[in-house]
Structure 1
Amino acid sequence: MATRYYPAILEQSSDGFGVFFPDFDGCVAHGATTEDAARQAEEALALHLRGMIEDGDAIPDPTPLERVERDPEVEEFARILVRAELPGRAVRANITMEEGLLAAVDTFAKQQGKTRSAFLADAARAAMQEARTA
């Protein structure tokens, strides 16, 4: 996976902090604290990028933080960089798995309209994300 860092703007509100991304219209997050807002921003960005990839949309390069123009209508609290993991080149891998589990994976993947590889990659991403947030 390729790591990129996208600029995000935090705005303080009566119930916490809103976050928006100048590089992605409609990608927003909210948190009660700045730390919570940053975590939510990372999740929102990951979801937004996944949707763009699934739709075949081009992923823009991050705008350097110092080049993001200030909007006079926005009262900024802070600017942060939010990490995003973009898929890299697919690489063939040979794994060993119990045959019953492999058959169950194949059946489930087919029901989801996915290949075995796509299912296993999605499952690995979900497990790592869950471990990060635990």
Structure 2
Amino acid sequence: MLTFFALVHQEDDSAYGVQFPDVAGCFSAADDMEQVIRNASEALALHLEDGDLPAPRSLAEIKKDEDVAAELAHGAFLIAVPLISFTGRSKKANITMDAGLLQAIDDTASARDLTRSAYLASLARRDISG
């Protein structure tokens, strides 16, 4: 899985703004820190779904970038954002877990009007993207 670094900005009580130095034109925003990586990961996937995939720079290379360094000096910070590519295809997978845990998953999924697969996929996406 590729990871891209993103600059996060916030001024006063505004939302968090996110930009990707290695992906021109890709931006995101979030009202709170809990949503920053999730929203950024989604924006990154959508932005890159039909285009060429740029090579992400390392953290050391990003920090050497003059524009990034200037943003960091003014209070921005860097986060690592995973690129989760959605293919639009489903793939069956067998998993094994404790029967009680599986029942709790099924009960929770049912209460949320989701299938077991949809519920587990949403949890995985949320965990992977922070």
TM-score by length of 1: 0.57
The 1-side partners of 2:46 and 2:90 are apart by 16
Runs of 4+ in 1 over 4 A off after TM superposition: 127-131
CA distance 1:30–1:63, shift in 2 (3 Å): same
**For the residues of structure 2 that align with 1:29 and 1:35, how far apart are their CA atoms?**
14
Matches for 1:1-134 after TM superposition, within 5 Å:
3-13=1-11, 14-52=13-51, 58-68=52-62, 69-71=65-67, 72=70, 75-86=74-85, 121-124=87-90, 127=118, 130-131=122-123, 132-133=125-126
1:124 aligned partner, one-letter code? S
Greater per-residue strand proportion: 1
Partner amino acid for 2:33?
Answer: T
RMSD in angstroms over aligned alpha carbons? 2.7
Following the alignment from structure 1 to structure 2, what is the Cα–Cα distance between the partners of residues 65 and 129?
A: 29
Where structure 1 has 5 or more consecutive residues not aligned to the other structure, the ranges are 53-57, 88-120
Q: Structure 2, unaligned stretches of length 5 or more?
A: 92-117
State the distance in 1 between where 2:6 and 2:16 align.
12
Partner of 1:95: none
What number of residue pairs does the alignment pair up? 93
Matched letter for residue 50 of structure 1: E
Q: Structure 1 67/27 Cα, relative in aligned 2: closer, same or farther at 3 Å? A: same
TM-score (norm 2): 0.59
How far apart are residue 42 of structure 1 and its match? 0.4
Cα deviation code 1:35-91 (max 9, x no counterpart): 211110000001011131xxxxx311111122111423673431011001358xxxx
Counterpart AA for 2:24: D
